[in-house]
């Protein structure tokens, strides 16, 4: 495979959202990723989502809360209305806590799982709750490509922007898995990245990104602690792109996707 045979797709990044271990929003995280502030790992936090009606707020799980917080940060930075924006949600496996609770129940004498547990078990739970929160009736997709879920989401969002000529918000989120699932899926904490993408350059554009398929080696993060984070939470496979956005310099980065199939991203700050 050579990149030359592949079509390149370009889009403009208008807003970024980031929450994760030691990342509490894009403004402060950008300083860390640019090497201007020290990375101080601590457990991921995200606020209770005020936008959700009380019943949904009560039923919402961490992956929904993280997705909503990350998405709203990116949309707010882009100065857009969430209600009219198509969305792409991608997660490497969804809500591990809920999955554990259901499986534990189904293995017991009493298999009467609760309705809330059940509807929270769908992979598009975050997508559904977020649309209820924002009132967005625009299309919303829910994807999974295991460790390549960030790359899969980026491709889906890019093709929406390019083909449907629309803005789109990409939301890539993972949350931790409890034991015994943790032993087979070692995600220790939550991390979410959101990007608002636009087909055209606008007042709030941060950078133009151009993406193509490649088999070149994936880029690593220089900071060893951040590199460990990149490898330990699938959504963090997008951090090298955010690192480049934080530097505000033109450059190229190769993101992990599916095995030897990777994504080359050229970044040109606006």
Q: Cβ–Cβ contacts within 10 Å for residue 123, how many?
A: 16
Distance CA 154, CA 170 (A): 7
264 binds other proteins (CB under 8 A): no
What residues have CB less than 8 Å from 99, skipping those under 6 apart? 93, 121, 181
CA-based nearest residue to 13, from 229, 228, 167, 177: 167
12 binds other proteins (CB under 8 A): no
# residues near other proteins by CB under 8 A: 70
162 binds other proteins (CB under 8 A): yes
240 binds other proteins (CB under 8 A): no
Distance CA 187, CA 264 (A): 25
Would you say 112 or 222 has its CB closer to other proteins? 112
Choice from 69, 74, 102, 172 touching other proteins (CB under 8 A): 102
What residues have CB less than 8 Å from 176, skipping those under 6 apart? 96, 97, 182, 187, 188, 189, 190
Residues in the chain: 270
218 binds other proteins (CB under 8 A): no
106 binds other proteins (CB under 8 A): yes
Choice from 24, 34, 97, 113 touching other proteins (CB under 8 A): 113
111 binds other proteins (CB under 8 A): yes
Token pair of 149, please? 């879920």
Residue span binding other proteins (CB under 8 A) among the ranges 16-24, 41-49, 121-129, 196-204: 121-129
Strands 261-269 and 251-258 turn out to be antiparallel
Residue span binding other proteins (CB under 8 A) among the ranges 26-34, 41-49, 104-112, 192-200: 104-112
CA-based nearest residue to 60, from 75, 42, 74, 47: 47
Residue span binding other proteins (CB under 8 A) among the ranges 67-75, 190-198, 220-228, 254-262: 254-262
Distance CA 189, CA 176 (A): 4
132 binds other proteins (CB under 8 A): yes
233 binds other proteins (CB under 8 A): no
The CA distances from residue 40 to 225, 226, 269, in Å, are: 10, 10, 27
Choice from 34, 51, 122, 270 touching other proteins (CB under 8 A): 122
Residue span binding other proteins (CB under 8 A) among the ranges 2-10, 17-25, 28-36, 244-252: 2-10
With beta carbons less than 8 A apart as the criterion, state whether 9 and 73 touch: no
99 binds other proteins (CB under 8 A): yes
Choice from 165, 183, 203, 222 touching other proteins (CB under 8 A): 183
Reported as type and span, the H/E element at residue 153 is: helix 149-164
Choice from 38, 54, 137, 203 touching other proteins (CB under 8 A): 137
Residues forming the site for other proteins (CB under 8 A): 1, 6-7, 9, 56, 59, 92-94, 99, 102-104, 106-107, 111-115, 117-125, 127-129, 131-132, 134-146, 148-149, 152, 155-156, 158-160, 162-164, 179-181, 183-185, 213, 257-261
């Amino acid at each position: 495979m050579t990149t030359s045979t592949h079509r390149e797709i370009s889009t403009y990044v208008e807003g970024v959202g980031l929450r994760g271990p030691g990342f509490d929003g894009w403004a402060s995280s950008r300083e860390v990723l640019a090497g201007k502030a020290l990375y101080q790992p601590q457990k991921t936090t995200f606020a209770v989502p005020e936008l959700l009606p009380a019943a949904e707020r009560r039923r919402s799980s961490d992956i929904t809360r993280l997705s909503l917080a990350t998405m709203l940060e990116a949309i707010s930075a882009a100065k857009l209305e969430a209600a009219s924006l198509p969305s792409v949600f991608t997660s490497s496996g969804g809500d591990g806590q809920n999955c554990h609770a259901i499986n534990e129940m189904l293995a017991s004498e009493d298999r009467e799982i609760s309705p809330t547990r059940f509807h929270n078990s769908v992979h598009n739970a975050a997508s559904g709750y977020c649309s209820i929160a924002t009132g967005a009736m625009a299309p919303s997709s829910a994807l999974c490509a295991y460790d390549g879920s960030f790359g899969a989401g980026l491709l889906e969002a890019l093709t929406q922007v390019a083909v449907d000529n629309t803005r789109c918000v990409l939301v890539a989120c993972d949350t931790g898995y409890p034991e015994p699932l943790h032993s087979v899926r070692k995600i220790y904490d939550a991390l979410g990245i959101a990007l608002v993408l636009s087909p055209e350059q606008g007042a709030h554009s941060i950078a133009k990104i151009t993406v193509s398929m490649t088999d070149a080696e994936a880029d690593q993060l220089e900071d060893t602690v951040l590199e460990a984070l990149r490898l330990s939470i699938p959504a963090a496979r997008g951090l090298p792109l955010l690192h480049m956005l934080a530097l505000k310099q033109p450059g190229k980065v190769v993101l992990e996707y599916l095995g030897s199939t990777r994504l080359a991203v050229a970044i040109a700050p606006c």
